[in-house]
Structure 1
């Protein structure tokens, strides 16, 4: 019965979003989304999400400096940098390599870089999380990934790349929205929204249980916490936050 209800509401939502489905069928939506819609949406959404998660991020990144290399340097790699929402939390003098699969963020990203001159920006790479071949193995002290694992094609492959580029003893920092408890109404609505949400928001998946991927990856230690971010009228309130050590 529940599955029938989910399918019914999914069909209703798809009907409302029919113009976008049609544009997708014609091959128009994806380039428009990547170049215009999603960067615009992300800029507006990020402002809200940043306010809601600022204290969480301050606590999360508080010990970043502890992962400096023996030489005293702190080299960071950020996967899915987007608009650079995390720059303000990075320690002064650290060296950051930014990556994103979507090159259309670079204009807004430059503005954020200019506001955060306390860190050194090494380079920007157009790269997917599953393929960071431009980054040498064992070359970074920490990898940062926030609101990205929801949209990568393969979470496990991305985590494998994270482990490859991290030096021994380096850390992977994450903050991701995830699937709600399966017995909750939140999860019921996540299942309804999922197909249309994924299409509209550039591959963003609502029902991934990313904590399981992290726990099954070959990290020596995983410190993970489930939290709820108050984003009313959205299906992405459940989050996980923490870091994992190689």
Structure 2
């Protein structure tokens, strides 16, 4: 099995040689950062259709974490195109963080289509360093399909805990590694190195639940799901919320 994995990984790398060459020349990152938002616009539209019921379930109790004033202050990390906006409750005050500034113009379109929200600002930053967001300043942090691509899950979860007020909650929905004994996990391993380049740092084999279990939350509600997605590699999911 190890030999088969090595041979297939080598074959995939050979097929993807043009991408590796562009990356070596420093051009792939430039191409990816500009093209990725439009790829995500198409992907998230399909993802939302297939995952709408699970997203509604996940975000159904957001309002329970509103502050004393009754207004919910929400920070979305890795906001992308604003695909989650329609699932947030009316009057929710939203701040968005994303390291790719090219998402902003697509985000503005989503804001215009979701007038039930009160948009605060768009911050260009990585989730591991959100120093523009004050300590304990938000009721809820949301992160969907982001932990797969961050540099350090531990660091981003530390930042989440820092910006959350005491009693606030972190909501997540992430694709993760399949069970290790399955063929799905085998193919995730085969494709992971090239997938990482093609999809802006996305990892197929991350066991993100382990980082969530190690983080300093007082309560963790985590569920596993075989998502009804067209791409089998992305079907293993975790979702839920954690309370500071």
Give the TM-score taking structure 2 as reference length.
Answer: 0.98
| Alignment root-mean-square deviation, CA | 0.8
Deviation at 1:233, TM superposition (A): 4.0
Q: Which residue, 190, 205, 208 being the options, matches 1:210?
A: 208
Relative distance call for 1:105 and 1:8 in structure 2 (3 A) is same
Aligned to 1:26: 25
Q: Which residue, 106, 120, 123 being the options, matches 1:122?
A: 120
Q: Which residue, 229, 234, 239 being the options, matches 1:241?
A: 239
Deviations 1:116-144 (A, max 9, x none): 00010000000101001000000000000
Aligned-partner Cα distance in 2 for 1:79–1:212: 19
Segments of 5+ residues of structure 2 without an aligned counterpart are: none
Whether the 8 Å contact between 2:51 and 2:228 is mirrored in structure 1 is no
Aligned-partner Cα distance in 2 for 1:232–1:107: 28
Matches within 5 A, 1:1-246: 2-36=1-35, 38-246=36-244
Aligned-partner Cα distance in 1 for 2:231–2:120: 38
Between the two proteins, the alignment pairs up a number of residues equal to 244
Whether the 8 Å contact between 2:154 and 2:211 is mirrored in structure 1 is yes
Which shows bigger deviation, 129-138 or 222-231? 222-231
Aligned-partner Cα distance in 2 for 1:49–1:87: 14
Segments of 5+ residues of structure 1 without an aligned counterpart are: none
Deviations 1:18-64 (A, max 9, x none): 1111100111001110112x112111111111111100000100000
Partner of 1:239, secondary structure, is strand
Deviation at 1:8, TM superposition (A): 0.6
Whether the 8 Å contact between 2:94 and 2:117 is mirrored in structure 1 is yes
Give the TM-score taking structure 1 as reference length.
Answer: 0.97
Which shows bigger deviation, 227-236 or 62-71? 227-236
Deviation at 1:234, TM superposition (A): 4.3
Aligned-partner Cα distance in 1 for 2:90–2:18: 47
Aligned-partner Cα distance in 2 for 1:65–1:201: 33
